[in-house]
Amino acid sequence: MKNISESPFFYNELFINGKWVKPKKMYDVFNPFNYEKIGEAPFATKENVEQAISAAHNCFKSYRKSTPQYRSQLLKNWSKLCLEHKDELAKMITLEQGKTLEDAKGEIDYGLSFVDWFADEAKRIYGHNIQSDRPDQIIDVILEPVGVVGAITPWNFPFAMVTRKIAPALAVGCTVVLKASEETPYIAYALAHLAKQAGFDDGAINIVTGDPAEIGQILCSDVRVRKISFTGSTRVGKILAAQSAEHIQKLSLELGGNAPFIVFESADMEEALKGALYLKQRNGSQSCVCGNRFFIHDSIYDQFVEEFSNRFSKQKSGNGFDCDSDYGPLINQTARDRVLGLIESSVKEGAKIVCGGKASYNSCIEPTVLSEVQSDMTIAKEEIFGPVAPFYRFKTEEEVVEMANDTPYGLASYFYSKDFSQVMRVKNELKSGMMGINETVIAKPQIPFGGVKESGIGKEGSFYGIHDYLDVKCTITKYEL
């Protein structure tokens, strides 16, 4: 597929109140692999965004009163339709985002696991009763949907980040205005089309793309929007946190990470190598929970770096549609220049390139391994978001825990050790919202996904994730005995 219009799920109008709305303006969308234009996408005006908020607000009045069974069934219909068209949807993701078809299919499975999970959770929202200190009084705690949700999603998982936000919101009776990423708009509009087919009420889901700063500002300044749910960079998260203060909107922020990946002396080397490779290859390392700093114990450092480099250097970055590509290109030229700049600054600051270090084609970056990296280098402080693995040495547990925690981020962390007491100590000392211990697969619908520190607030997935879309209302009722 070369042009997005070849897809049966191609839509290039705004989705407002269950209808396709022709925009006044369009913008160009490019294939990250060859930089060719793949189509045009709608650019919303201020009025369009306000129409979307009004539609969500009006729909909320009735949708909030619908039964959990009704909402659960709609989510199940939606998931079934997406699954039926998985191959076509995956092609859209590969064309606009660049990841391999295999990764795109994996993303769809992952994204739908949230729709399925929240379809079940919709029926399990329980309030509770608290005993009063008076016999003539009943205290009930009721959970209610927060209202209209303003959701903003990134390009790196353009399908799953949308479903991970929209599904819990719709499950509890909220309605949504989604601003999808401008780099990857088409899969979001395809999801809107399938949601309409699934039977969702007009106005329950509204999708716009356009000027991110303007749309963010409108969502935050409109008092009818009661929650902002954002996934993206910490920089933008801070802007939204400040803007949402105006009306004290409920806030969920899934932001950037700088995950440590620690391999202790006692670790199962093969398991740790497999884990590190998995993290670096998946989605071309453009993932917020990707290993970003690899700390290896001094006694196994040389062996580990050599073996990792042997394996990683065999991987190929290329066209996501080619079967022999292990991972795709970076999202655009800016991302490519930033990653190449980080490699260059590391070398200038004293690191060594073990393999890779260049772009093989356009934004396709060779698998790159840097050794002898130090914690005061520029790369140690940045989220790399590319196939570059920097290796740091450590000698003691205390030293590595301090280095690992020396970052404003706290999204994910990983460590490998077979020493039980060490596992317990390090587990308690590392500061992050999620932790893989002898494990790297940490994102599943039953897991509360989210960070601490500047990696964000709130959770997505799990029991905790659905509660982020609920208000707690306490009623105190006096009655005659």
CA distance 237 to 451: 13
Tell me the closest approach of the beta carbon of residue 417 to ligand NAD, in angstroms: 25
Buried b or exposed e, range 257-281, using 16+ CB within 10 angstroms: bbbbbbbbeebeeeebbebbbebbb
Nearest Cα neighbor of 391 from 266, 282, 300 is 300
Tell me the closest approach of the beta carbon of residue 188 to ligand NAD, in angstroms: 10
- Catalytic one of 254, 383, 397, 460: 254
Is the CB of 62 or the CB of 334 nearer to ligand NAD? 334
Is the CB of 127 or the CB of 448 nearer to ligand NAD? 448
Phi, psi of 82 (to 5 degrees): -65, -40
Tell me the closest approach of the beta carbon of residue 312 to ligand NAD, in angstroms: 21
Is the CB of 213 or the CB of 269 nearer to ligand NAD? 213
How far is CA 185 from its chain centroid?
15
Tell me the closest approach of the beta carbon of residue 40 to ligand NAD, in angstroms: 17
Is the CB of 201 or the CB of 383 nearer to ligand NAD? 383
Judge whether 323 counts as a catalytic residue. Answer: no
Nearest Cα neighbor of 443 from 456, 464, 461 is 461
Is the CB of 287 or the CB of 309 nearer to ligand NAD? 287
Is the CB of 203 or the CB of 216 nearer to ligand NAD? 216
Tell me the closest approach of the beta carbon of residue 59 to ligand NAD, in angstroms: 23
Tell me the closest approach of the beta carbon of residue 368 to ligand NAD, in angstroms: 19
CA distance 86 to 104: 9
- Catalytic one of 288, 364, 366, 454: 288
Tell me the closest approach of the beta carbon of residue 148 to ligand NAD, in angstroms: 16
Is the CB of 397 or the CB of 460 nearer to ligand NAD? 460
Is the CB of 85 or the CB of 165 nearer to ligand NAD? 165
Tell me the closest approach of the beta carbon of residue 153 to ligand NAD, in angstroms: 6
Judge whether 254 counts as a catalytic residue. Answer: yes
How many beta carbons lie within 10 A of that of residue 419, not counting itself? 14
Tell me the closest approach of the beta carbon of residue 352 to ligand NAD, in angstroms: 27
SS (H, E, C) the chain: CCCHHHCCCCCCCEEECCEEECCCEEEEEECCCCCCEEEEEEECCHHHHHHHHHHHHHHHHHHCCCCHHHHHHHHHHHHHHHHHCHHHHHHHHHHHHCCCHHHHHHHHHHHHHHHHHHHHHHHHCCCEEECCCCCCEEEEEEEEECCEEEEECCCCCCCHHHHHHHHHHHHHCCEEEEECCCCCCHHHHHHHHHHHHHCCCCCCEEEECCCHHHHHHHHHHCCCEEEEEEECCHHHHHHHHHHCCCCCCEEEEECCCCEEEEECCCCCHHHHHHHHHHHHHHHHHCCCCCEEEEEEECCCHHHHHHHHHHHHCCCCECCCCCCCCCECCCCCHHHHHHHHHHHHHHHHCCCEEEECCCEEECCEECCEEEECCCCCCHHHHCCCCCCEEEEEEECCHHHHHHHHHCCCCCCEEEEECCCHHHHHHHHHHCCCCEEEECCCCCCCCCCCECCCHHHEECCECHHHHHHCCEEEEEEEEECCC
Is the CB of 63 or the CB of 449 nearer to ligand NAD? 449
The sign of the torsion formed by the CA atoms of 328, 333, 337, 339 equals negative
Enumerate binding residues for ligand NAD (CB under 6 A).
152-157, 161, 179, 181-182, 212-213, 216, 231-233, 236, 239-240, 254-257, 288, 383, 411, 451, 456
Query: Would you state the structure tokens that stand for residue 111, as one six-digit string?
Result: 């994204």
- The residues carrying an active-site annotation are 254, 288
